[in-house]
Chains A and B, each alone.
Chain A
Amino acid sequence: MRVSMWVLVLLFIFGFNHRIFAHQRPRTERISGSAGDVLEDDPVGRLKVYVYELPSKYNKKLLQKDPRCLTYMFAAEIFIHRFLLSSPVRTLNPDEADWFYTPIYTTCDLTPTGMPLPFKSPRMMRSAIQLISTNWPYWNRTDGADHFFVVPHDFGACFHYQEEKAIKRGILPLLQRATLVQTFGQRNHVCLNEGSIIIPPYAPPKKMQARQIPPDTPRSIFVYFRGLFYDVNNDPEGGYYARGARAAVWENFKNNALFDISTEHPTTYYEDMQRAIFCLCPLGWAPWSPRLVEAVVFGCIPVIIADDIVLPFADAIPWEDIGVFVAEEDVPNLDIILTSIPTDVILRKQRLLANPSMKRAMQFPQPAQSGDAFHQILNGLARKLPHDNKIFLKPGEKVLNWTAGPVGDLKPW
């Protein structure tokens, strides 16, 4: 009798607390992608990663030369290295490792204005792979099929910022069998391998957290965008930059009061995004941009204008339910498309965006938290396990062509 009384009391207290706290949280919805409800999976115990010890000229020295590498949008490669060094999935015994990570910062070669130069990256990568294949037997065992590399540059492992050149080069031949963790994702593109893991570009989490405004501030901007429409330095007439899509947005909607679009960079950029309902995320020179991350963190529905783009963690996050996809040829009808979305669909998208696990999955916080982008990468790698036995080469068998590629790549670094 007394036990049941206590049980009732406990239930009552629990229910009371739940009632108090329930209405303070925003309404959210569970997110489950094509791989199932995997956003909150814990990768610890599901895989083991061995981190190669490379000489510091491949990583630390580059960072020392230019500390700006830590703050720009390709900084993910550095933070992933640091995360793995202290993560419980790291193993010091390479024989029990499922995945091998090579800590090489290929994009940390910046111009004075902060742009990464990819010209030395192929040689750097080749030299690193030569190192690991001679000092450890694990590369030759599978020709790299159980290794993964972080290549967050514009066109991934094609190592060029110009699309035609990148396509011509293709993915570095030595990386053909490895898993690539990259920000670039476009279907049927030479620079996207099957089985690559797409990650979001790095956006500084502390800066975004610091600029939150109260959630009851009414969202009064319909469509918001800040950025270039014409890249005047490189493509003044337009039509080349963003395949003409950004220019089309400007020409069609510059007079439309519902579209708050401009090239000016205001100091209230983050605050404005939190007051907008839709945020445009059109392609630029490459289809991905940090705008997607910012839109997700600030609860603004991303309108993705990039044909055939593959978005980050596409198997864990159902992007079609969360964002609005507009084909580049439909840009002139963007206003019709957006206003014809039913209200309940829009509210559902906002609920999905309000889910904290969604916001966590897009960011690279320091120190790492559960459910963040680091863990999503590990989850993605864990989902690819167990390795197919076919990847293990018979002794003496070689699949990779070490002399393929442009002659300039073969020069030692």
Chain B
Amino acid sequence: MKLSALRLSYMNRRSTSFRGSAPLDSSAESAVKSPAAIFWLLLHGVCCLISLVLGFRFSRLVFLFLFSTSASNLYGMPFRQLATTADLANPLNVPYNPVVNPEVPAINKTVSSRVIVGRHGIRIRPWPHPNPAEVMRAHQIIESVQKEQRIQFGVKSPKTVIAVTPTYVRTFQRLHLTGVMHSLMLVPYGVVWIVVEAGGVTDETAAIIAKSGVRTIHIGFKQRMPNSWEARHKLEVKMRLRALRVVREQKLDGIVMFADDSNMHSMDLFDEIQNVKWFGAVSIGILAHSGGADESSLVAVKEEVEKRSSMPVQGPACNASNKLAGWHTFNSLPYEGKSAILIDDRATVLPQQLEWAGFVMNSRLLWKETEDKPDWMKDLDSVDADIESPLSLLKDPSVTEPLGSCGRQVLLWWLRVEARSDSKFPPGWIIDPPLEITVPSKRTPWPDVPPEPPITEKPVINISEQTVKHTKTRSSRSKRRSKRKHEAKVVDTQVSVRHSEQN
């Protein structure tokens, strides 16, 4: 332990005590001192020289070989005799055999430890690497311990998370939806994922969400997603209301949260929304970025933003007694007139006043007849489809519960990144037919200039011209190289056949 520094100062004393104990004992026992002492000194010196040459202490090996016949000597002496046999102990790194480990009973009546003091071998098993079966079992143990911890210290009686995601097929859909999907897959509670797709149900989206492993409800929405952000927000609201109707119809039980497909959710969000009783709000971080617009406007916007030092957060605001006092919305004034209107625009995309993603509600609020449903919740059918935020579903917005230590924790981030509306992407992100070669790999056997074999030039030229004509009609650019080599090979064989025929 910590006694090492002390031992350093007494090392000499100790090392002589047990290394030299053999000569000391023997010399003490035998009355003849000097010849024995000189002999051992000489032997010690010779051994030191040999060790210097060899580079390790070989003394123990020597003793091992000398005394290996009497195997019982190796381990089993009680302490008093151990001083003489201290050097006899096994050399380093004894392979793991069941070593003869005799349990010597106390020879004398004096109390002597069964555990032997002195140098022991270091046992190493033949394959000191992890065993995969055990690693799996260890991970299972870790999982059960963590499950127990969650039961004891985590959320009591966790509720299912019902995530509502409006989406539509476009270039960035796979990117966004995969992010949401991975977040939902990590949620330690039950998850029901309602995906509402603009433009109807497509195989593309279905393929993406099928891999989630959570229960999904895929709904198609007749309208196509328009190109302007304004109209897009409106359509998304309609899609969300459609999803809420599904919750009502199927009487899904749990907590409804709105997971827009380009948002980023932290795992703490799902733990925090378990605390909601009826209707809650969390703080969203707004990442309103400008997609590489021209420098001047960027700089101007930045200065404005810095001047006002606005916090890019939307969510509930509390007073000193941790009660809901109002709402903090994103300050969009600096971006006035410079925000994106169409999806294609490279300007900043602005959020609404209060995004849907920042609200969660108990699904029982949506059910038609429940006993303990509070009366401040409007019926879904009586709500106009043009509502801005879920607060319009309430008769009295002040009943909202602020979550995340009263809005101080930002638990999710709002971000809108889209490609141009005319951007193309391979369907299902599977590339078929294979891509054309733009840069040849150095290792492939295609040289930069295809070699023209000189001898068989004449007949080849005619045929290659014909073949070249063929390839030209067939495909335009890249295939020609590979085809030509192919053709060249084929031509060669044809030529040789011809030659053989001629001959």
Contacts and interface: CB of A to CB of B under 8 A. Distances in A.
Interface of A: 23, 26-27, 73, 111, 113-115, 117, 154, 161-164, 167, 186-190, 214-216, 218-220, 222, 227-228, 231, 233-234, 237-240, 243-244, 247-248, 251-253, 255-258, 277, 284-286, 289, 307-308, 328-329, 331-333, 335-336, 338-341, 343, 346-347, 350
Nearest to B82: A164
Interface in B104-122: 106, 110-122
A277 B142 CA distance: 8
Most interface-central of B4, B17, B93, B135 (chain A CB within 10 A): B4
Contacts of B322: none
A11 B200 CA distance: 60
B130 A161 contact: no
Contact of A248 (B83, B124, B141): B124
Contacts of B115: 186, 188-189, 243, 307-308
A117 B114 CA distance: 27
Nearest 9 CB-CB pairings of A with B: A216-B153, A115-B6, A332-B125, A234-B7, A244-B120, A113-B5, A284-B1, A339-B137, A218-B146
Interface in B469-484: none
Contacts of A186: 113, 115
Contacts of A286: 1
Interface in B451-485: none
A173 to B, nearest CB: 14
B145 A219 contact: yes
Given A240-B118, A307-B115, 8 more contacts: A115-B5, A164-B82, A164-B83, A186-B115, A222-B138, A239-B121, A251-B122, A277-B141
B138 A239 contact: no
A219 B149 contact: yes
B149 to A, nearest CB: 6
B142 to A, nearest CB: 6
Contact of B7 (A188, A231, A248, A338): A231
10 contacts: A113-B5, A163-B117, A216-B150, A220-B146, A237-B92, A243-B115, A251-B124, A251-B128, A332-B125, A346-B144
Contacts of B148: 347, 350
Given A239-B119, A255-B129, A350-B148, A154 B113 contact: no
A229 to B, nearest CB: 10
Contacts of B79: 164, 167
A307 B125 CA distance: 20
B114 A215 contact: no
A233 B8 contact: yes
Nearest to B57: A237
A238 B137 contact: no
A19 B117 CA distance: 56
Contacts of A257: 130, 135
Nearest to A336: B134
B309 interface: no
A190 B112 contact: yes
Given A233-B7, A243-B115, A336-B131, A26 B123 contact: no
A270 to B, nearest CB: 17
Interface string B83-101: 1000001001100100101
Contacts of B110: 190
Contacts of A243: 115-116, 120
B2 interface: yes
A380 B120 CA distance: 36
A234 B124 contact: no
Contacts of B140: 343
B11 A233 contact: yes
Given A188-B114, A239-B92, A331-B123, A253 B3 contact: no
B119 A240 contact: yes
Nearest to B137: A339
Contact of B128 (A247, A255, A277, A307): A255
Nearest to A287: B115
A117 to B, nearest CB: 7
B6 A244 contact: no
A364 to B, nearest CB: 18
B45 interface: no
Nearest to A256: B130
B499 interface: no
A111 B138 CA distance: 44
Contacts of A284: 1
Contacts of B134: 335-336, 339
Given A117-B6, A257-B130, A335-B131, A216 B113 contact: no
Given A115-B3, A233-B7, A339-B134, A256 B129 contact: yes
Contact of B111 (A188, A222, A307): A188
Contacts of B137: 339-340
A258 B135 contact: yes
A239 B152 CA distance: 44
Contact of B8 (A164, A234, A277, A347): A234
Contacts of B93: 251
Contacts of B116: 243
A191 to B, nearest CB: 9
B141 to A, nearest CB: 6
A350 B148 CA distance: 10
B3 to A, nearest CB: 5
